[in-house]
């Protein structure tokens, strides 16, 4: 299977910056995979996200989306249609003052037939569980609801890849859960490739693959189990481990012998139960 | 407090007036305004008033809502009345006291001017009360679309209007938040002389401005990510359709104009 996004040794330095934001990153993203990108502030994770749909183009190296080079301006619309992007602040990505009109914005831009737009808008809103709110004004929705509308707005383009740049950073715990559940369902049920940029370790637990960036380089790359068992390495990168791992490590230090690959709260609880029996 | 601001005073509803194509309502509002200036007799005013009252009744707009909308105009109305009443010349003097003299012509003119203003403004309220600002923008865009040939960026202008409307509540919320933050730090926004209060607004406006620029930047990026590429080649999910009811509305509009002209000719 060919990767949907292929990143070949890219580097990028912002104007006036003294060190590169990305420094020789190579990465293949396979279709249908859920990749979480972690990293502390300034690790380059947002810069990496912006390279995935040609908001930024690499100063050296190449990014290919479905074989199309992002540096070629002629590919721009085709790339943006395939790689949808959701940002941190839901307020600043909603264009219209009715939910369904906002979701229709992207397919309208693409010149899709009105009937097909209607179908896509309804389908996208149903996928994120916001269909009942289609006639609401966005500013009256909660943060999690707004962010799901923003996701629907991107889904209406029928993208192959969904890139989310810290989509839960401004949400309360409930809103975070809503958004993550919607994203996981899109990946698992619809087969959409997901790249989730986050600094909440807990959000990476359900991913297929976790990348940890540090100062513009990929520091760790593996399954969540492989990554989160390296407690010392994560701490060296100024990252904390998920709460479940922290608990497991402390219990093990106190004399228990728990497996370190129980990441979700349910798995962790089951492992503790098993050890206590 | 700031959240109470409503713009355009749209009252959602599902009456025949609400269901009319916004383009029809926009055009008919223009026709109505022109018709008011064609009125040349008292009977004409009565006819226009009857038309207005029936539209209001069909659209379930209560007279109270209309009066509330007219309230801010009191000054202009009184001013117009006084001006016409006292400064119209003529021989048919009705009342005279020292240098003040009121003529029949003056009284007639004052009453008709006030009626004109009242009917004009209430008529435009019929449009804004029954049509959402978004639908009005949409109608404007489509009616002005022939101007695209002259390179007038009609679509872009209407998108600007939409975004402005969309962000009003967001910015109001943000202003509220900044106000609370400044008050918490001891800013006094409510007392003092006018220049003092104006100066006190600065710490409010500067953060608001900066954050608006940041928002605009992020919104532009999000729009680009959703393949925004200008108005060209764009389609619309919601198509406007002129239906039979629109034809009926135009017919009624034409009848109104004909009636006014007829009454004027007859001098009733």
Contact A111 B235 (CB under 8 A): yes
Residues from chain A contacting residue B223 (CB–CB below 8 Å): 95, 105
Q: Which of A89, A96, A150 sits opposite B166 (nearest CB)?
A: A96
Residues from chain B contacting residue A107 (CB–CB below 8 Å): 235, 237
Would you place residue B9 in the very low, low, confident or very high pLDDT band (cuts 50, 70, 90)? low
Q: Is A53 in the B-facing interface, judged by CB distances under 8 Å?
A: yes
**Of A166, A107, A177, the residue nearest A142 (C-alpha):** A177
Nearest-Cα distance to chain B for A271, in Å, is 43
Share of chain B above pLDDT 90, in %: 25
Contact B226 A154 (CB under 8 A): yes
Contact B235 A121 (CB under 8 A): no
Per-residue pLDDT, averaged over A130-155, amounts to 91
Phi-psi region of A8 (alpha: psi -120 to 50; beta: other; left: phi over 0): beta
Range of lowest pLDDT (A116-130, B9-23, B217-231): B9-23
Q: What's residue B8's pLDDT?
A: 53
Would you place residue B214 in the very low, low, confident or very high pLDDT band (cuts 50, 70, 90)? very high
This prediction's pTM:
0.81
Closest chain B CA to residue A56: B221
What secondary structure letter does DSSP report for A234?
H
Residues from chain B contacting residue A98 (CB–CB below 8 Å): 134
Residues from chain B contacting residue A89 (CB–CB below 8 Å): 218
Whether A222 and A209 have beta carbons less than 8 Å apart is answered as yes
A194 class by beta-carbon count within 10 Å (0-12 exposed, 13-18 middle, 19+ buried): buried
Q: Which of B162, B218, B235 sits opposite A87 (nearest CB)?
A: B218
Contact B134 A96 (CB under 8 A): yes
Per-residue pLDDT, averaged over A123-133, amounts to 93
**Exposure class string for B18-55: b at 16+ Cβ within 10 A, else e:** bebbbbbbbbbbebbeebbeebebebbbebbeebbeeb
Q: What's residue A130's pLDDT?
A: 93
Would you place residue B4 in the very low, low, confident or very high pLDDT band (cuts 50, 70, 90)? very low
Share of chain A above pLDDT 70, in %: 100
Per-residue pLDDT, averaged over B237-262, amounts to 88
Whether A175 and A143 have beta carbons less than 8 Å apart is answered as yes
Residues from chain A contacting residue B219 (CB–CB below 8 Å): 92-93, 95
Task: Break chain A into its structural domains and give their ranges.
Answer: 5-224
Per-residue pLDDT, averaged over B192-216, amounts to 86
Whether A120 and B191 have beta carbons less than 8 Å apart is answered as no
Contact B166 A81 (CB under 8 A): no
**Helix axis angle, A173-190 to A114-127, nearest 10°:** 120
- Rounded alpha-carbon distances, angstroms, from residue A193 to A158, A176, A209: 12, 20, 12
Reduce the DSSP state of residue A10 to 3 states and report it. strand
Range of lowest pLDDT (A184-198, B8-22, B54-68): B8-22
Q: Which of B170, B227, B235 sits opposite A113 (nearest CB)?
A: B235
Residue B96 has pLDDT above 80, yes or no: no
Contact B237 A93 (CB under 8 A): no
Give B190 or B34, the one with higher predicted confidence. Answer: B34
Q: What's residue A252's pLDDT?
A: 86
Q: How many CB pairs under 8 A join A and B?
A: 95
Look at strands A34-38 and A193-197 and give their pairing: parallel
- The span from the CA of B175 to the CA of B205, in Å, is 8
Whether B85 and B106 have beta carbons less than 8 Å apart is answered as yes
Nearest-Cα distance to chain A for B254, in Å, is 33
Would you place residue B11 in the very low, low, confident or very high pLDDT band (cuts 50, 70, 90)? confident
Would you place residue B13 in the very low, low, confident or very high pLDDT band (cuts 50, 70, 90)? confident
Nearest-Cα distance to chain A for B83, in Å, is 44
Would you place residue B6 in the very low, low, confident or very high pLDDT band (cuts 50, 70, 90)? very low
Range of lowest pLDDT (A85-94, B58-67, B85-94): B85-94
Contact B222 A92 (CB under 8 A): yes
- Rounded alpha-carbon distances, angstroms, from residue B78 to B36, B71, B83, B93, B116: 20, 12, 8, 21, 13
Residue B7 has pLDDT above 70, yes or no: no
In degrees and rounded to multiples of 5, residue A107 shows phi and psi of: -65, -30
Q: What's residue A98's pLDDT?
A: 86
> What does the block give as tokens for A211?
């990348």
Residues from chain A contacting residue B237 (CB–CB below 8 Å): 100-101, 104, 107-108, 114, 117-118, 121
Contact A91 B215 (CB under 8 A): yes
Q: Is A100 in the B-facing interface, judged by CB distances under 8 Å?
A: yes
Per-residue pLDDT, averaged over A58-70, amounts to 92
Residue B95 has pLDDT above 60, yes or no: yes
Whether B118 and B70 have beta carbons less than 8 Å apart is answered as yes
Whether A214 and A201 have beta carbons less than 8 Å apart is answered as no
Which helix (H) or strand (E) segment is A217 a member of? strand A217-222
What residues contact residue A238 under an 8 Å CB cut-off, 6+ apart?
A40
Residues from chain A contacting residue B233 (CB–CB below 8 Å): 111
Q: Within 13 Å and on the Cβ side, how many CA atoms surround B134?
A: 18
Per-residue pLDDT, averaged over B240-244, amounts to 83
Over residues B98-115, the pLDDT tens digits come to: 777 778 888 888 899 999
Q: Which of B134, B223, B235 sits opposite A98 (nearest CB)?
A: B134
Over residues A180-237, the pLDDT tens digits come to: 999 999 999 989 999 999 988 888 888 999 999 999 999 999 998 888 888 888 888 8
**Of B11, B12, B22, the residue nearest B245 (C-alpha):** B22
Nearest-Cα distance to chain B for A149, in Å, is 13
ipTM of predicted assembly, 2 dp: 0.87
Q: What's residue B40's pLDDT?
A: 81
Would you place residue A158 in the very low, low, confident or very high pLDDT band (cuts 50, 70, 90)? very high
End-to-end C-alpha distance for chain A, whole angstroms: 44
In degrees and rounded to multiples of 5, residue B31 shows phi and psi of: -60, -45
> What does the block give as tokens for A264?
């979700």
> What does the block give as tokens for A197?
């940029």
Nearest-Cα distance to chain B for A101, in Å, is 8
- The span from the CA of B13 to the CA of B59, in Å, is 8
**Of A82, A60, A75, the residue nearest A193 (C-alpha):** A82
Per-residue pLDDT, averaged over A243-258, amounts to 85
The CATH class given to the A5-224 domain equals alpha beta
> What does the block give as tokens for A3?
């990767």
Would you place residue B169 in the very low, low, confident or very high pLDDT band (cuts 50, 70, 90)? confident
Residues from chain A contacting residue B8 (CB–CB below 8 Å): none
Residues from chain A contacting residue B222 (CB–CB below 8 Å): 85, 87, 92-93, 95, 150
Contact A77 B225 (CB under 8 A): no
């Amino acid at each position: 299977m060919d990767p949907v996004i292929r990143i070949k040794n890219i580097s990028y330095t912002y104007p006036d910056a003294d060190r590169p934001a990305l420094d020789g990153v190579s990465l293949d993203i396979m279709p249908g995979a859920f990749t979480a990108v972690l990293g502390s502030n300034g690790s380059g994770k947002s810069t990496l996200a912006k390279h995935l749909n040609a908001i930024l183009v690499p100063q050296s190296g190449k990014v290919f989306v479905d074989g199309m080079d992002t540096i070629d301006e002629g590919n721009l619309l085709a790339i943006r249609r395939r790689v949808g992007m959701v940002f941190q602040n839901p307020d600043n990505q909603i264009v219209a003052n009715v939910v369904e009109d906002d979701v229709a914005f992207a397919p309208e831009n693409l010149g899709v037939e009105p009937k097909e737009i209607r179908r896509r808008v309804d389908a996208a809103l149903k996928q994120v569980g916001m269909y009942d709110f289609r006639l609401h004004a966005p500013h009256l929705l909660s943060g999690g609801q707004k962010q799901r509308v923003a996701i629907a707005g991107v889904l209406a383009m029928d993208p192959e890849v969904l890139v989310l740049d810290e989509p839960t950073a401004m949400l309360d715990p409930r809103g975070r859960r809503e958004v993550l559940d919607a994203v996981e369902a899109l990946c698992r049920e619809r087969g959409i490739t997901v790249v989730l940029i986050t600094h909440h370790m807990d959000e990476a637990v359900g991913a297929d693959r976790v990348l940890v960036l540090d100062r513009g380089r990929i520091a760790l790359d593996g399954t969540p189990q492989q990554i989160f068992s390296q407690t010392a390495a994560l701490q060296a990168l100024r990252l904390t481990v998920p709460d479940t791992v922290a608990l497991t490590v402390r219990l093990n230090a106190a004399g228990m012998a728990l497996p370190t690959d129980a990441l979700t709260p349910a798995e962790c609880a089951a492992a503790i139960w098993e050890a206590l029996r | 407090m700031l959240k109470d601001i409503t713009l355009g005073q749209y009252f959602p509803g599902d009456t025949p007036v609400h269901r009319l194509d916004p383009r029809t309502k926009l055009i008919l509002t223009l026709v109505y305004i022109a018709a008011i200036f064609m009125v040349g007799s008292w009977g004409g005013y009565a006819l226009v008033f009857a038309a207005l009252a029936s539209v209001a009744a069909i659209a379930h707009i209560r007279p109270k809502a209309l009066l509330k909308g007219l309230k801010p105009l009191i000054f202009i109305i009184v001013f117009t009345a006084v001006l016409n009443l006292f400064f119209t010349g003529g021989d048919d003097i009705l009342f005279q006291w020292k240098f003040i003299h009121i003529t029949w012509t003056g009284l007639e003119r004052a009453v008709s001017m006030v009626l004109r203003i009242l009917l004009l403004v209430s008529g435009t309220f019929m449009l804004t009360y029954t049509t959402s600002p978004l639908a009005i923008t949409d109608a404007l865009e489509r009616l002005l679309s022939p101007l695209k040939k002259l390179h007038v960026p009609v679509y872009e202008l209407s998108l600007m209007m939409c975004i402005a409307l969309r962000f009003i509540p967001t910015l109001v919320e943000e202003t509220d938040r900044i106000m609370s933050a400044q008050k918490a730090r001891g800013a006094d926004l409510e007392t003092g002389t006018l220049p003092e209060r104006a100066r006190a607004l600065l710490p409010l406006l500067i953060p608001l401005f900066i954050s608006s620029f940041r928002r605009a930047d992020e919104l532009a990026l999000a729009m680009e990510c959703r393949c925004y590429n200008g108005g060209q080649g764009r389609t619309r999910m919601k198509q406007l359709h002129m239906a039979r009811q629109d034809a009926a509305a135009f017919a009624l509009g034409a009848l109104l104009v004909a009636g006014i002209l007829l009454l004027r000719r007859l001098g009733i």
